[in-house]
């Protein structure tokens, strides 16, 4: 039967492990933002082969399950002579995977801006770099914020897969806990609750941003 | 890579692939059905039931699929729900997909102009007939692109079933690589295979979408 004390006792150690879940998601989205910006720039550039590479990048990373990507990078890095801790490989994989989605979010945000604005800026004699830094990017970044929060929520959930390569984040910790207490139901439900708390907070933050932007 | 390995493990991998497709099809279809039911309940049931359904949607969408599977497969037996890996996996996929499908249906229904439903009521159509003849066909047209899109996303989620030992493609590939020590090659082939699969399904999906949308618009 379901035992409430076991359920409540599971929270302590799991909360402690959840900081790795947060760390991987936040670093992952940070890396994803940087690479995503580069991929988005390539996708929007006038150079054909850059656009092709960006297209392949996005299509491959969105077409291959994250679990397969994780194992691929995990086994690939030692072969090409890069010896890094597993957590580093995990963050890089999550970040690279996120970059494909983020570049599409930004491309959508940039395309959503009315063309008249850049035309007007050109008409009054603004230089292209100025148009980008003062007209396009500030608006596109604000416009993309809710979608980026959404992506962060997806990453928090996706980070559970990192447990497969042996990183002691929330899911891995709950597996260990379930194995020692023989109470998988209570432990995994507690883990689910922690994920839910994290994601509800993020979703509330996203709604707050959206609300502020709507004004 | 030694291609003889692929020859030796070919039948096993093919079986795994068949199971991947089976899990995906069943999970998608059942998830869609459950999602449709949820969307209809949300539209017609009284408030308290609607809140319960909303809570279900939030919980499933807020937790990782892997953790849901663990609760179902390892936690289930503690409350008398004893399932083999395969049924647990398909049930997991169904539950995981249902809130997303429900939201897709809900926004599809919202896109049906209110005037059409009011007009149907005015000419004396019964509520079930309105659902069947007006809400569903019109709602489906606008929901279709999102339905196809989410079904494609579900293909990628099937690999997670390998973690609870459903012997689908990923599971068989891992078995092959631990037996032959060819981890990198096996995962590379798996990645390329999934890339091709998802691209093919997306392309097919876009075509299907155009056809069905055209057909439904003609009929309604």
Average pLDDT over every residue of B63-74? 93
Whether B1 is covered by a domain: the verdict is no
- Pairwise CA distance, residues B126 & B121, whole Å: 7
Mutate to test the interface with A, among B80, B187, B205 (most CBs of A within 10 A): B187
- Pairwise CA distance, residues A26 & A8, whole Å: 27
Better pLDDT: A29 or A213: A29
Given pLDDT bands bounded at 50, 70 and 90, which one contains residue A215? low
- Percent of chain B clearing pLDDT 70 (strictly above): 97
Does the pLDDT value for residue A138 go beyond 60? yes
Does the pLDDT value for residue A8 go beyond 90? no
Of A62, A76, A185, the CB nearest to B71: A185
pLDDT confidence of residue B35: 95
CA–CA distance from A186 to each of A15, A36, A193 (Å)? 15, 39, 10
Q: Could you tell me which chain B residue has the CA closest to the CA of A191?
A: B67
pLDDT confidence of residue A49: 93
Given pLDDT bands bounded at 50, 70 and 90, which one contains residue A50? very high
Q: Report the run of H or E that residue B84 belongs to, with start and end.
A: none
The CATH number of domain A20-169, selected from 1.10.3720.10, 3.60.20.30, 3.30.540.10, 1.10.287.1080: 1.10.3720.10
Is B67 within 8 Å of A188 when comparing Cβ atoms?
yes
Q: What is the number of structural domains in chain B?
A: 1
Average pLDDT over every residue of B27-43? 94
| Helix, coil or strand: residue B167 | coil
Neighboring chain A residues of B162 at a CB cutoff of 8 Å: 67
Neighboring chain A residues of B200 at a CB cutoff of 8 Å: none
CA gyration radius, chain A: 21
Highest mean pLDDT: which of A56-70, A75-89, B170-184? A56-70
HSE (CB half, 13 Å, CA atoms) of B11? 1
Q: Determine the distance in angstroms separating the CA of B32 from the nearest CA of chain A, rounded to an integer.
A: 21
Whether B149 is covered by a domain: the verdict is yes
Q: SS3 for chain A, per residue?
A: CCCHHHHHHHHHHHHHHHHHHHHHHHHHHHHHHHHHHHHHHHHHCCCHHHHHHHHHHHHHHHHCCHHHHHHHHHHHHHHCCCCCCHHHHHHHHHHHHHHHHHHHHHHHHHHHCCHHHHHHHHHCCCCHHHHHHHHHHHHHHHHHHHHHHHHHHHHHHHHHHHHHHCCCCHHHHHHHHHHHHCCHHHHHHHHHHHHHHHHHHHHHHHHHHHHHHHC
| Helix, coil or strand: residue B104 | helix
pTM for this predicted structure = 0.88
With contact defined as beta carbons under 8 Å apart, do B20 and B200 qualify?
A: no
Whether B2 is covered by a domain: the verdict is no
Is B62 within 8 Å of A203 when comparing Cβ atoms?
yes
Average pLDDT over every residue of B87-97? 95
ipTM score for this prediction: 0.87
With contact defined as beta carbons under 8 Å apart, do B36 and B75 qualify?
A: no
> How is residue A190 written in tokens?
């507690």
Is B75 within 8 Å of A184 when comparing Cβ atoms?
yes
Residue A47 dihedral angles phi and psi, to the nearest 5°: -85, 125
Highest mean pLDDT: which of A28-42, A63-77, B6-20, B69-83? A28-42
Average pLDDT, chain B: 88
Neighboring chain B residues of A68 at a CB cutoff of 8 Å: 159, 170, 187, 190-191, 194
Neighboring chain A residues of B79 at a CB cutoff of 8 Å: 1-2, 185
pLDDT confidence of residue B178: 85
With contact defined as beta carbons under 8 Å apart, do B161 and B23 qualify?
A: yes
Given pLDDT bands bounded at 50, 70 and 90, which one contains residue A82? confident
- Pairwise CA distance, residues B181 & B175, whole Å: 10
Q: Which of A2, A44, A33 is nearest to A128 (CA)?
A: A44
Q: What's B195's domain CATH number?
A: 1.10.3720.10
Is A178 within 8 Å of B187 when comparing Cβ atoms?
no
With contact defined as beta carbons under 8 Å apart, do A178 and A187 qualify?
A: yes
Given pLDDT bands bounded at 50, 70 and 90, which one contains residue B70? very high
Give the domain range for residue B65: 9-219
pLDDT confidence of residue A51: 93
Domain limits of chain A? 20-169
pLDDT confidence of residue B216: 67
Does the pLDDT value for residue A34 go beyond 80? yes
Whether B3 is covered by a domain: the verdict is no
Size of interface A-B (CB pairs under 8 A): 120
Of B71, B158, B191, the CB nearest to A192: B71
Task: For tokens 């709604």, name the residue.
Answer: A207
pLDDT confidence of residue B55: 93
Q: Which of residues 125-144 of A touch B (CB under 8 A)?
A: none
Is B170 within 8 Å of A68 when comparing Cβ atoms?
yes
Does the pLDDT value for residue B176 go beyond 70? yes
pLDDT confidence of residue A77: 82
Is B76 within 8 Å of A67 when comparing Cβ atoms?
no
- Pairwise CA distance, residues A141 & B30, whole Å: 38
Neighboring chain A residues of B95 at a CB cutoff of 8 Å: none
Does the pLDDT value for residue A79 go beyond 90? no
Does the pLDDT value for residue B136 go beyond 80? yes
Is A200 within 8 Å of B62 when comparing Cβ atoms?
yes
Q: Could you tell me which chain A residue has the CA closest to the CA of B155?
A: A65
Where do the H-state alpha helices sit in chain B? Answer: 3-44, 47-62, 65-70, 85-110, 114-122, 127-130, 136-157, 169-180, 183-219
- Residue A88 in contact with partner chain B when CB distance is under 8 A: no
pLDDT confidence of residue B220: 59
Q: How many residues does chain A have?
A: 215
Average pLDDT over every residue of B88-100? 95
CA–CA distance from A27 to each of A22, A31, A94, A198, B63 (Å)? 8, 6, 9, 16, 20
Per-residue pLDDT reduced to its tens digit, A176-212: 888 888 888 888 999 999 999 999 999 999 888 888 8
Of A62, A188, A200, the CB nearest to B74: A188
């Amino acid at each position: 039967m379901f035992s409430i004390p076991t359920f409540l006792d599971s929270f302590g150690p799991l909360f402690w492990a959840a900081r790795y879940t947060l760390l991987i998601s936040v670093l992952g989205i940070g890396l994803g933002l940087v690479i995503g910006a580069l991929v988005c720039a390539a996708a929007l550039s006038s150079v054909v082969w850059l656009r092709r590479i960006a297209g392949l990048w996005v299509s491959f990373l969105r077409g291959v399950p994250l679990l397969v990507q994780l194992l691929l990078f995990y086994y690939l890095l030692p072969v090409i002579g890069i010896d890094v801790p597993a957590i580093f490989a995990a963050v890089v994989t999550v970040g690279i995977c996120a970059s494909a989605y983020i570049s599409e979010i930004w491309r959508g945000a940039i395309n959503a801006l009315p063309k008249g604005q850049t035309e007007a800026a050109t008409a009054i004699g603004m230089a292209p770099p100025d148009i980008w830094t003062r007209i396009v990017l500030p608006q596109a970044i604000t416009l993309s914020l809710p979608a980026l929060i959404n992506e962060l929520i997806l990453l928090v959930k996706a980070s559970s897969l990192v447990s497969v390569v042996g990183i002691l984040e929330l899911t891995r910790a709950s597996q260990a806990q379930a194995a020692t207490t023989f109470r998988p139901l209570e432990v995994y439900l507690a883990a689910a609750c922690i994920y839910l708390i994290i994601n509800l907070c993020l979703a509330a933050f996203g709604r707050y941003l959206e609300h502020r932007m709507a004004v | 890579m030694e291609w003889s390995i692929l020859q030796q493990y070919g039948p096993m991998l093919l079986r795994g692939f068949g199971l991947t497709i089976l899990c995906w099809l069943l999970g998608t279809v059942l998830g869609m059905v459950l999602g449709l039911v949820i969307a209809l309940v949300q539209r017609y049931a009284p408030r308290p039931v609607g809140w319960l359904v909303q809570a279900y949607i939030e919980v499933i969408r807020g937790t990782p699929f892997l953790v849901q599977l663990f609760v179902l497969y390892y936690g289930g037996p503690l409350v008398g729900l004893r399932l083999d890996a395969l049924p647990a996996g398909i049930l997991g996929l169904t539950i995981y997909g249902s809130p997303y499908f429900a939201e897709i249906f809900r926004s599809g229904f919202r896109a049906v102009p209110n005037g059409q439903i009011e007009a149907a009521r005015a000419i004396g159509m019964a509520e079930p007939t309105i659902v069947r003849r007006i809400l569903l066909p019109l709602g489906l047209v606008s929901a279709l692109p999102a339905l196809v899109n989410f079904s494609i996303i579900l293909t990628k989620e099937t690999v997670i079933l390998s973690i609870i030992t459903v012997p689908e493609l990923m599971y068989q590939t891992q078995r092959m690589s631990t037996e032959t020590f060819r981890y990198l090659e096996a995962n590379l082939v798996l990645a390329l295979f999934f890339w091709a699969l998802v691209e093919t399904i997306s392309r097919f999906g876009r075509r299907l979408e155009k056809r069905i949308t055209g057909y439904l618009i003609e009929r309604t």
